[in-house]
Every structure is written in C-alpha cells, then in structure tokens.
Amino acid sequence: MPHGSLTVVGTGIRLGIQLTPEARIAIELADELLHLTSEPVAGRWLDGLHAHTSNLQSEYRVGDSREAIYERIVERILAPVRAGRRVTAAFYGHPGVYVRPSHEAVRRARAEGHDARMLPAISAEDCLYVDLGVDPATTGCASYDATDFLLRNPTIDTASALVLWQITVIGDATAVDETALRTDNLPVLVERLAQDYPRDHGVVVYEAAPYPIVDPLIQHLRLDDLPAAAPSPLATLYVPPATVRPFDPEMVARLGFTTH
C-alpha cells in the first residue's frame, strides 16, 4: 500500500476567521482537501482554499443510521490516503469534539501505517464560555451528549455547571431533517433534570454565532419551560450550578488554607 498521510483540522465556529494558521498550512500543503461543514456557505468557502476539494456532506442521507453515515465518511477520507496522497480533512468547529469520524479516520490511518494527526481548533464550547461569561474552572463543568446523558444517567453534581449537547435530536440514532428536528423528548430531559434541580432553575439554550456579523443565540428560561423553547438545530443546553460545594475542613487544614 502506498504511504499516504492524513491531517484532520477544524474550521472553528465563525466562518472564515477562526481557522488557525496551523490548519491553513495543512490545507495548503495537502494534495486533496475533504471537508464537512454545517452549511453550504462554509463548504463553498473551503472549496475556494484548495484546487482539489471534496464535500463529505453528500454522505448524510436523512433516515440513514449515523453509524452507516460515519463509516462512509471515514472510508471517503481514507481512500486517497491509501492511494499515497497527502490528505487534509476539515470539520466544522473542533475536529475532535463531537466528530466521531475524525477520530476513527486517524485511528485507522495509523493502524494501516500512514502518518495521521489531528490539530486543535475552536469549538462551540469555547464560544459558550466567552458568550455566557462563565469560567469552567470556577465551579467545574460536566459535559454530555443529551441522549447519552439520559441513557447512562450519570450522577449530577449540582454545584458544578452542566453542558448538554444535541438537545434537538434526543433519542434519534439516524440522520434527521433539520426542518423536522426531534424535540419531542425535551420533556423527558426536563423530567430527569428536575430530579436534581428545581423546575424554576434558570438555564440557557445556546448556539454559537456562525458568522462574525451576527450575535450568538442566547435564550434564558426556566428549566420547566425548556420543552416550549423551540431550540435551533445546533442548540446546546447550559445548566448553571444550583448549589455551592462546601470546603473539606480536613483538607483545608492540611493545605494550610483558611476559610471565611
């Protein structure tokens, strides 16, 4: 098998201005650029950065299982790598955050003896912290896919922030039409969260701004009002802490701190 290479990069969230210099160099040096973005405008922008591009969006077919879609994407990426070409695959946002095909493509490429790497980028979570003015280091922060959160039912620390992703496709393992999103399971999510938070606890439905000239979508509401919120396709739920975690007096003493 010819020796190819794969570099996986992210475009960031805001079109055209969050692509890192490192990622741009990887695109320029590639023999072929494959990309998967959230909208056609971003795809056309990436087409303009390289002479040989291929859009992976065609692998998304409404009703197909996500596993089947991801498998097709991985194989599309690896085909030119196996042919000995230098390939760069660009994904919307951060290529390692909620992008399962990127990790699998890197894993398979390395297993087959090709050079493969992933470069960091700006994610929607990075944008969330600055747009909402929160610092995850202050209280800690747990982050889950909304469906996985419900299926696995992890213990919630209400003294930490909670971020739940993909709240518009809860319980759906297939590709869905963005004009008919699955929001019917939002009451189920509220029911689960209400086991630990008051129903009038303030939460935020958030979507990062995809363009420099528009503002992020930020909707403050009560937890109990979430099912009526009509979140956008890329919406994320941010749940602020509801309690304050006390200090451990023994550890405070051992480390030489004092509390007031």
Q: Which of 14, 60, 70, 72 is catalytic?
A: 70
Q: Which of 136, 173, 168 is nearest to 151 (CA)?
A: 173
Calculate Rg over the CA atoms of the chain. 21
Confirm whether 66 is a catalytic residue: yes
Q: Which of 24, 60, 61, 66 is catalytic?
A: 66
User: What is the CB-side half-sphere exposure of residue 112 using CA atoms within 13 A?
Assistant: 21
Confirm whether 92 is a catalytic residue: yes
C-alpha–C-alpha distance, residues 232 and 103, integer Å: 26
Q: Which of 60, 72, 82, 92 is catalytic?
A: 92
Confirm whether 85 is a catalytic residue: no
**Alpha helices in the chain, H assignment, sequence order:** 21-29, 40-47, 66-82, 100-111, 124-132, 136-139, 146-152, 186-193, 249-254
DSSP state of 1: -
Q: Please, which residues have CB within 8 angstroms of residue 150's CB and are 6 or more apart in sequence?
A: 170, 171, 185, 188, 189, 192
The residues assigned a catalytic role are 66, 70, 92
